[in-house]
Structure 1
Amino acid sequence: MIDVIVIGAGPAGLAGAIAANKNGLSVMVLDEFIKPGGRLLGQLHQETSGEWWNGIEESKRLHEEAINLGIDIRSNVSVFNICQEDSLWNVYTDASTFQAPFILLATGAAEYPIPIPGWTLPGVMSIGAAQVMTNVHRVQVGKRGIIIGANILSFAILNELQLAGIHVDRIVLPEKSPLSKDAAVPEEVMKSLLNVAHLAPSPFLRAGSRMMKNVGMRKIGLRLFPKSGVNVNGTSLQLRKAAVEIVGKEQVEGVRVVDIDAQGNKISDSEIEYDADFVCIAGGLYPLAELAAVAGCPFEYIPALGGHVPIHSEAMETPLQGLFVAGNITGIESGKIAMAQGTVAGLSIANKVEKESKTITKKLSQALQQVQTVRQASSIQFNLDINSGRNKMKSLWAAFDVNNSKNIV
């Protein structure tokens, strides 16, 4: 019989499967993609230490370790429902139905779409799709592109596209609307980007970014921000321009933009069109948590974690008996943190089975500390207030009687 079914073969899922298996549990991993790795497969960047983070190599390492341990990994399998009957979880997939007393949901994150007129044209894609096509499938997405949306994700993938020899002409903001929200407000965008000022490509930009952390200086900086943009390794960052339409007859031919003020309001008579043969829309990430919702897990909306997240403990346990979570389903962070959380989840499940074994409890304590260590050392934070978000979840978990599922509201 299977002890644990892990849904999602990304960094959190594979790390969780390995930790559970190493502590005596039989594990099955299910993933809808054609190969394990999740978002790791597209990641390639240089860290502040100078070392390169190669997601493909990291996913290969995790996959090989899992295979060597005898973990059953099944790719190209879609899970569409999970429900609990008595003490077992039923996992319904397009291949078969599986049962186990424990489930680890490591489903990761999805991208926010920002609708823009013309976004159905061939050549328009999410920034994550460009990353996968470039780094996983080795397909050149185009010769001259424009990114709509300036956030941590778009800058990380911009660097990867540049490394692949793909020219991104400029980055502009989306037009202000109820759906684009703060992503269309230059003042808010600049504030969020200051969180990664240390990664700016030149000493001048890094020094200027430190000055912009002062509110008054930031307002002055935005007023003086050049309309032509600031050069980021050959790509023009234009915080004072917004895309109002993607143009083209049968495929992308360009993007129509307008000048905007510090609050994202359009300035009249400022429309201009830039040529492009591909467009990436970067709306950011949110936790992919539908299966937790289907299972009946309670949620909380915490913007600092990226959106609606299932209630969970630091040990990755949810209020539903036998249901655990790890990775970006709990809040948007880096792949390294997802791996650390996966290890915590795997050990937590093993600890439940072994009724709080002293040996596993010690390992779990060390794994929990490792999550904090990795988080503190992380060079990139997708959300500015991640620690406040985690603390809020900690308080919410304390309010639940996890030993009595009848008390769940």
Structure 2
Amino acid sequence: MIDLVIVGAGPAGLGAAISAAENRLEVCVIDEFVKPGGRLLGQLHEEPDGKWVNGIAEAQKHYERAIQLGVNIKCGVSVYDLKKLENGWCVYTTDKAIESKCLLLATGASETPIPVPGWTLPGVMSIGAAQIMGNVHRVKPGEKGVIIGVNVLSVAIARELQLCGVHIESILLPQPSLVSGNAANPEKMMASLLRLSHLAPSPLIRFGGKWVSPKLGARLYPKNGFKMWDIPIQLRKTALEILGENQVEGVRIAEISATGKVVSGTEKTVSADFVCIAGGLTPLSELAAVAGCSFCYVPELGGHVPLHNEFMQTNLTGLYVAGNITGVESAKVARAQGTVAGLAIARELNTLADHADEKIDAAIAGVIETRRHAIIQFQPGIEKAHTELHRRFYESRGETILN
């Protein structure tokens, strides 16, 4: 029986593996993808200070450090079941069953699909799939595309696709439905867009983002939208249908009011050879459910998340979580959470040396600081949501948090 199995080789999983191995734990990391790095692999962007972030290089750096520390990383291996043992966990994989004293789930997040008429045509994909094609496999998803869904993910990846030499014709909203929910509401999406205004290349948009209310902004938003990096972001247009015979050939769109109602007589078709659907992200928590974790539904964190505390402990002995499974945030926050989890597990297994509590407290403070200074916030109120989630964890155990 080894000390720790980590499911997920993204920033959280690798961060945890490094901090655990630095404290003398025997660690095995499992990931179903053929390369370690998780969502880091698809990231390539310029930060406001002009520094470029190359996710592949970041992932390689973390991977090399983990290997140097003796971490066993198994890629191309899937986990299909978990079983609680008397003194640990058994992780069932497509390679073999592995027993460990502790288990960390760092499975990340999955994209939320939004059904659009014609979405089964070849050339329709999720926005994350397009990112992986361009940044990881170096293959263009197409020459001219339309993105359905205005959110943090779609705007950021649209810029990355542009850097791949792809023309983005438009980023616009889906039609209102039970599935699309707020994603089809111009006022709600205006609020989301205003949280990204500090990244805009235009001083006018950056200034407006500080002073314009979402409701007023949606009503004043020009029908043809604003451009960021020469990409039209159109909150007053919606995608009615994806068109094509054997593959994507275009998208039928229409103008909408500030409340999301289609304006009759405004329909037209724009040509495109691929379409990306950006429905946002949801914590990928199926394995936590299989394990028997308690869950909480927290909209600010992306949906149902395993109940856990600030040490990344769940309500099950020896089971920890870190990264986007605990709430959709940036890779930097996930990496910081992984560090906390690795240290907390080392403390549980009595290998964390002098000043253990101080080291973990410092790491927790690092998560909070990283979250507060994150360039991109997927949802408002994330910090408060985490605090409330931790309160619920202790309440479920009959304990209270002393502020």
Aligned residue type for 2:140 = Q
Secondary structure of the structure 2 residue equivalent to 1:237: strand
In 1: Cα distance, 2:34 partner to 2:362 partner: 33
Is 1:118 paired with 2:129?
no
**Aligned equivalents of 1:185 and 1:22: distance in 2?**
48
Distance 2:398 2:6 in 1: 21
Aligned residues: 399
State the partner residue of 1:253.
Answer: 249
Q: 1:304 touches 1:388 (CA, 8 Å); kept in 2? A: no
Query: Which residue of structure 2 aligns with residue 32 of structure 1?
Result: 32
Match in the other structure for 1:152: 152
Cα deviation for residue 358 of structure 1 reads: 4.2
Q: Which residue type is aligned with residue 131 of structure 1? A: Q
Give 1:167's aligned residue. 167
Partner of 1:388: 384
1:179-235 deviations in whole A, cap 9, x for unaligned? 0000000000001111121111210111122221x3xxx434323322222122121
CA distance in 2, matches of 1:402, 1:320: 15
Cα distance in 1 for partners of 2:356, 2:193 equals 40
Residues 6-45 of structure 1 mapped to structure 2, 5 A cutoff:
6-45=6-45
Question: Could you tell me how far apart the structure 2 residues matched to 1:309 and 1:322 are?
Answer: 18
State the shift of 1:400 in Å.
2.3
Q: Is the 8 A contact 2:195 2:209 kept in 1?
A: no
Matches within 5 A, 1:42-81: 42-81=42-81
Query: For residues 335 and 5 of structure 1, what CA distance do their matches in structure 2 show?
Result: 21
Q: Which residue number in structure 2 is paired with residue 407 of structure 1?
A: none
* Contact 1:350–1:360 under 8 Å retained in 2: no
Render the CA deviation track for 1:121-148: whole Å, top value 9, x for unaligned.
Answer: 1110000000000000000111110000
- Counterpart of 2:372 in structure 1 is 376
Once residues 355 and 7 of structure 1 are traced to their aligned partners in structure 2, the CA distance between those partners, rounded to angstroms, is 21
8 Å CA contact 2:186–2:236 kept in 1: the answer is yes
Give the Cα separation in 1 of the matches to 2:357 and 2:314: 18
Q: Could you say what the CA RMSD is over the residues aligned between the two structures, in angstroms?
A: 1.3
Counterpart for residue 352 of structure 1:
348
**CA–CA distance in 2 between the matches of 1:288 and 1:265?**
33
Structure 2 unmatched ranges of 5 or more:
none
The residue type equivalent to 1:93 in the other structure is T
Q: Supply the AA of the counterpart residue of 1:99.
A: E
What pairs with 1:262-281 in structure 2 (closer than 5 Å)?
A: 262-281=258-277
- Counterpart CA distance in 1 for 2:298 and 2:344 is 24
Percent sequence identity over aligned pairs: 53
TM-score (normalised: structure 1): 0.95
The secondary structure found in structure 2 opposite 1:23 is: coil
Give, as a single letter, the amino acid of the residue that structure 2 aligns with 1:236: P
What do residues 348-388 of structure 1 show as CA deviations (whole Å, max 9, x unaligned)?
00000118754322221111111111111111101111112
Farther off after superposition, 347-356 or 257-266 = 347-356
Report the counterpart of residue 309 of structure 1 in structure 2. 305
Structure 1 residue matching 2:320: 3-state secondary structure: strand
Residues 23 and 350 in structure 1, CA contact (< 8 A), matched pair in contact too: yes
Q: Once the two structures are superposed, what CA deviation does each residue of 1:76-114 show, in whole Å capped at 9, x if it has no partner? A: 000011110211211111111111110000000000000
Per-residue CA deviation, residues 300-351 of structure 1 (Å, 9 max, x unaligned), is: 0000011000000001000100000000000010000100000000000000
Partner of 1:337: 333
- For residues 247-277 of structure 1, what are the alpha-carbon distances to aligned partners after superposition, in whole Å with 9 as ceiling and x for unaligned? 0000000001121111212122221111000
Asked if 1:227 corresponds to 2:220, the answer is no
How many Å separate the matches in 1 of 2:215 and 2:298?
28
Name the TM-score, length of structure 2 as normaliser.
Answer: 0.97
- Residue 292 of structure 1 is aligned with which of 288, 291, 313? 288
2: CA distance, partners of 1:167 / 1:370? 39
* One-letter identity of the residue aligned with 2:170: R
Q: Do the aligned partners of 1:123 and 1:251 also contact (CA within 8 Å) in 2? A: yes
